[in-house]
Amino acid sequence: MDEGSGVGVLDKAAAVLTALETSPLTLAGLVGATGLARPTAHRLAVALEHHRLVTRDLQGRFVLGPRLAELASSAAEDPLLATAGPILTRLRDITGESAQLFRRQGDFRICSATVERPSGLRDTVPLGAQLSMTAGSAAQVLLAWEEPENLPRLLKEATFTMLSLQQVRRRGWAQSVAEREPGVASVSAPVLSPSGKIIAAVSVSGPIERLTRQPGRLHAPAVMAAAERLSEVLRRNDTE
């Protein structure tokens, strides 16, 4: 841990959250990552779980919780989220499909903003929804711009491969057909920081009957344009 703020319990809780930023951890893993005593690490993780800042995955490991996404969504100082609404609304209007913004939290992606198709059959992804990083076009995008050494563990259970992620990065977008959910197709593109780091994924999703089995042919240009507008917001904010 760093030298801290002087408020010991807060610094230790922050250390727990920071340790969970990159991957789920067992209690032993949390102890190793933070340097905290086992009883302290357990007490803090359980307390954070009570406040939904931490939760558990299917293996019982500690992961970042949904409350963090809810707090991020209401953060007025976040230029990405402040701009996402109008851009996603325009993307929805252009494509006629539901539009989302996803951010990665460890082994999951969180829906940080969403605009629904107003009527008819649609793919509904609730705000704050926690989805897998092993399936879906947004997961592909969020991993395609990751450092390769961080990928093997997730790819063991993924519906896509390292080769397909390389192809996603080359063309600048990803598509999926019935990967995350039967009958649903989607197209996603990356929101990148000025340094080229992956920040988020912009997506449109809907039934295969409308998006077809080649949804990228229909919607990749519009999704990429929306993602580029959000990337431009980050570039502009970085120079102010």
Whether 8-72 and 79-238 share one fold: the answer is: no
Enumerate the domain spans of the chain.
8-72, 79-238
Residues sharing a CB contact under 8 Å with residue 169, sequence separation 6 or more, in sequence order: 144, 145
pLDDT in tens, the chain (240 residues): 445 667 889 989 999 999 998 788 999 999 999 999 999 999 999 999 999 999 988 888 999 988 887 776 665 567 787 789 899 999 999 999 999 999 998 888 999 999 988 776 666 788 888 898 999 999 999 999 988 888 888 888 899 999 999 999 999 999 999 888 889 999 999 999 988 899 999 999 999 999 999 999 999 999 999 999 999 988 887 665
- Classified by CATH at the fold level, domain 8-72 comes out as Arc Repressor Mutant, subunit A (1.10.10)
Residue 170, helix vs strand vs coil: helix
Strand partners, 109: 104, 131
Residue 107 region by backbone torsions, left for phi larger than 0, else alpha for psi between -120 and 50, else beta: alpha
Domain 79-238: CATH class, spelled out: alpha beta
Whether the CB-CB separation of 120 and 97 falls below 8 Å is answered with no
Residue 195: strand, helix, or coil = coil
